[in-house]
């Protein structure tokens, strides 16, 4: 029903339906009782007055209980909410076709002296409840304020998605020499191609071309060489060489873990010889045993003293990775297999089995279904391992078949898995179908060799488990904006601290329901740059970079427009129904009038018998 179809003014009751009928029936009963008593009296001299006073008394009591009010139709106003990058032509068009238009400037300055500054959407809801339709022009309101708009019949006039990053993700921490990636997608609405460039402090390390009028995914890679806290740059270059975007990508690079590795072969292998030398050069502790004959073995120890090769609980607890060839693994006894499985599951040990021509793998240790293939060499994408170019490896005549729980570590250019692993508890058991990798060294490609083995070690070796694990759930934590954090710790009631240059900010954490060791909280950092997260009273530190408020602005704008668009679609039906509901104003009738009537009528009924 439209407002102009309503009566100008009518009476309503400020009680619910149930209370209304209770009051009505009680007062009718009282009126009937009082009227009957007046009629039964022998003195009929003031009967009319007594009946009138009884009726007035009952009506006054009923009004006190029903709380009447005058309801009038209220003239609705339209309003325009100006948000970032609004178009003046849209505003002028709305002003011409709408009556009684108010103009609000959202989180910014107005276009003229008649514009009302609105710090947030709640300001409009509190101070202008008579608004009928709210037109939102520009990039929209902040996503967390969208529920406030339920109070209005909202119409969106949003900008199209601008050029910029639509999604971005990367690991805030990595390990030196490991593959590190920045992934996402970029929207390019222009008529020319643009180039995305990932630059380290030393210069460009990777790039990707985004076509004109396209939204394309990208994955830019690097293998950082040094440990420390670094800020990479994500550049967007136009064909003219102009820089369209220049964003910060901070990353904390941890030192490479020095591993304790044991290798046991059923016979001497060139593959093991070159692997041992490379591992030694990387600073790892290596123990190698090659069985020469039934009673003769060759043992080598690098970066460590001599140790036993007995695969018992004591040894397996000390080492990070065990490499066995398939023939030796096949000969392991049931007891040794059981000890190995427990070490993998409970201690996080990593095991790598180097398959051979037979294709046999000890099923009691793990299960890898293999498919036969007639191929001796295969081509590997270097970019998958963090290096540029492709390289060739000699493979066994097998491929890893797809199986639930088996993860691929190395694939060829056809996407077929040649190295894979199964996660078992805290550790993993892997298999390699690569016959030789040392040929890369002989061919003068040590970078490919290093990338291949670094990738395997990073996935299979025992992981270092920190006491406290911090995770930033906000993609880009910014100055003076809420940053949501999750802490995994066994400590009871932990308190978080954020430190920079001696300034310490404490923030409190709340335990997650059903997760005793998961805690969540928010913090508002005041300064840009690297900070240190800690649990109060503990010395373990986790770096956290706080961005400037203007960093990654294109990404933030796109997320805001998308959130407003989603809200507009979700509430389209509700908006139409809101438009059909007229705005009204209720003015309570002062109850003092009815109290006065009650006293007047009660006084007459008290005085009348004495007359």
Give the mean pLDDT of 528-535.
95
Q: Can 77-159+558-581 and 164-255 be said to share one CATH topology?
A: no
Q: Band the pLDDT of 316: cuts 50, 70, 90.
A: very high
User: What number of H helices and E strands is found in the chain?
Assistant: 13, 37
Report the C-alpha gap between 461 and 350 in whole angstroms. 5
* Most confident segment among 80-84, 104-108, 463-467: 80-84
Report the C-alpha gap between 139 and 85 in whole angstroms. 6
Predicted TM-score (pTM) above 0.75: no
Q: Band the pLDDT of 49: cuts 50, 70, 90.
A: confident
The rounded percent of the chain whose pLDDT value lies above 70 is 94
pLDDT at res. 211: 95
pLDDT at res. 4: 41
Domain range list for the chain: 3-73+587-610, 77-159+558-581, 164-255, 260-460, 469-546
Q: Tens digit of pLDDT for each residue in 558-592?
A: 999 999 999 999 887 655 444 444 556 667 888 88
**Spelled out in words, what is the top-level CATH class assigned to the domain 77-159+558-581?**
alpha beta
Report the C-alpha gap between 456 and 462 in whole angstroms. 12
Report the C-alpha gap between 156 and 457 in whole angstroms. 53
Mean pLDDT, the chain, rounded, equals 88
pLDDT at res. 204: 95
Kindly tell me if the per-residue pLDDT of 519 is higher than 60: yes
Kindly tell me if the per-residue pLDDT of 532 is higher than 80: yes
DSSP 407-462: EEEEEBTT--EEEEEEEETTEEEEEE-EEE-THHHHTT-HHHHHHHHHHHHHHHSP
Q: Is the dihedral of CA 457, 458, 459, 464 positive or negative?
A: positive
Give the mean pLDDT of 592-611.
82
Kindly tell me if the per-residue pLDDT of 460 is higher than 60: yes
Fold for domain 164-255?
A: Immunoglobulin-like (2.60.40)
Give which of 378, 336, 337, 329 is closest to 358, Cα–Cα: 329
pLDDT at res. 19: 84
Multiple choice CATH, 469-546, 3.30.70.260, 2.60.120.260, 2.60.40.10, 2.40.30.10: 2.60.40.10
Give the mean pLDDT of 513-517.
82
Q: Tens digit of pLDDT for each residue in 242-254?
A: 999 999 999 999 9
141 with 561: CB under 8 angstroms? no
pLDDT at res. 6: 45
Give the mean pLDDT of 119-124.
88
277 with 224: CB under 8 angstroms? no
Multiple choice CATH, 260-460, 2.120.10.30, 3.40.50.880, 3.60.21.10, 3.40.50.300: 3.40.50.880
Give the mean pLDDT of 376-394.
88
Q: Tens digit of pLDDT for each residue in 256-302?
A: 889 999 999 999 999 999 999 999 999 999 999 999 988 899 999 99
Q: Band the pLDDT of 100: cuts 50, 70, 90.
A: low
């Amino acid at each position: 029903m439209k407002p102009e179809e309503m009566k100008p003014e009518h009476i309503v009751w400020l009680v619910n339906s149930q209370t209304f009928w209770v009051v009505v029936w009680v007062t009718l009963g009282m009126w009937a009782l009082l009227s009957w008593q007046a009629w039964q009296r022998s003195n009929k001299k003031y009967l009319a007055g007594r009946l009138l006073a009884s009726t007035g008394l009952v009506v006054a009591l009923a009004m006190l209980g029903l709380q009447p009010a005058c309801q009038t139709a209220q003239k609705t106003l339209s309003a325009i909410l100006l948000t970032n990058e609004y178009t003046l032509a849209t505003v002028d068009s709305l002003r011409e076709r709408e009556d009684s238009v108010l103009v609000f400037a959202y989180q910014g300055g107005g276009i003229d002296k008649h514009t009302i500054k609105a710090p947030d959407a709640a300001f409009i809801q509190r101070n202008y409840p008579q608004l009928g339709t709210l037109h939102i022009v520009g990039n929209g309101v902040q996503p967390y304020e969208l529920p406030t708009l339920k109070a209005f019949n909202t119409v969106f006039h949003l900008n199209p998605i601008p050029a910029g990053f639509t999604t971005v993700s990367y690991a805030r921490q990595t390990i030196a020499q490991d593959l590190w990636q920045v992934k996402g997608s970029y929207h390019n609405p222009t008529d020319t191609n643009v180039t995305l460039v990932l630059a380290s402090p030393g210069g460009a390390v990777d790039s990707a071309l985004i076509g004109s009028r396209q939204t394309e995914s990208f994955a830019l890679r690097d293998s950082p060489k040094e440990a420390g806290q670094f800020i990479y740059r994500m550049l967007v270059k136009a064909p003219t060489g102009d820089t369209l975007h220049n964003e910060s990508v901070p990353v904390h690079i941890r030192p490479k873990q020095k591993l304790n590795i044991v290798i046991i072969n059923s016979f001497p292998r060139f593959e093991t010889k070159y692997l041992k030398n490379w591992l030694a050069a990387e600073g790892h502790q290596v123990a190698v045993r090659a069985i020469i004959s039934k009673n003769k073995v060759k043992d080598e120890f690098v970066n460590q003293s001599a140790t036993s090769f007995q695969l018992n609980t004591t040894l397996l607890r000390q080492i990070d990775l065990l490499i066995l060839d398939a023939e030796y693994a096949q000969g392991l006894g049931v007891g040794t297999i059981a000890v190995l499985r427990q070490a993998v599951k409970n201690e996080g040990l990593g095991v790598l089995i180097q398959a051979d021509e037979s294709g046999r793998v000890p099923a009691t240790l793990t299960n890898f279904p293999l498919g036969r293939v007639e191929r001796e060499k295969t081509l590997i994408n270097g970019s998958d391992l963090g290096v540029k170019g492709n390289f060739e490896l000699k493979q066994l005549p097998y491929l890893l078949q797809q199986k639930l729980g088996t993860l691929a570590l190395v694939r060829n250019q056809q996407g077929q898995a040649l190295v894979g692993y199964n996660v078992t508890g805290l550790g993993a058991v892997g298999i390699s179908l690569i016959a030789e990798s040392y040929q890369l060294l002989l061919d003068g490609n040590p970078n490919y060799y290093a990338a291949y083995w670094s990738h395997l070690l990073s996935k299979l070796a025992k992981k270092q488990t920190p006491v406290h694990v911090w995770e930033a759930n906000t993609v880009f934590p910014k100055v003076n904006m809420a940053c949501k954090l999750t802490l995994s710790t066994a400590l009871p009631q932990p308190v978080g601290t954020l430190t920079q240059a001696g300034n310490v900010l404490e923030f409190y954490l709340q335990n997650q329901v059903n997760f005793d060791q998961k805690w969540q909280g928010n913090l508002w950092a005041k300064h840009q740059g690297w900070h240190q997260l800690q649990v109060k009273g503990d010395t373990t530190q986790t770096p956290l970079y706080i961005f400037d408020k203007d960093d990654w602005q294109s990404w933030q704008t796109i997320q805001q427009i998308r959130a407003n668009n989603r809200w507009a679609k979700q509430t389209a039906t509700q908006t139409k129904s809101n438009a059909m509901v007229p705005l009204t104003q209720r003015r309570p009738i002062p109850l003092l009038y009815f109290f006065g009537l009650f006293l007047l009528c009660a006084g007459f009924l008290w005085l009348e018998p004495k007359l």
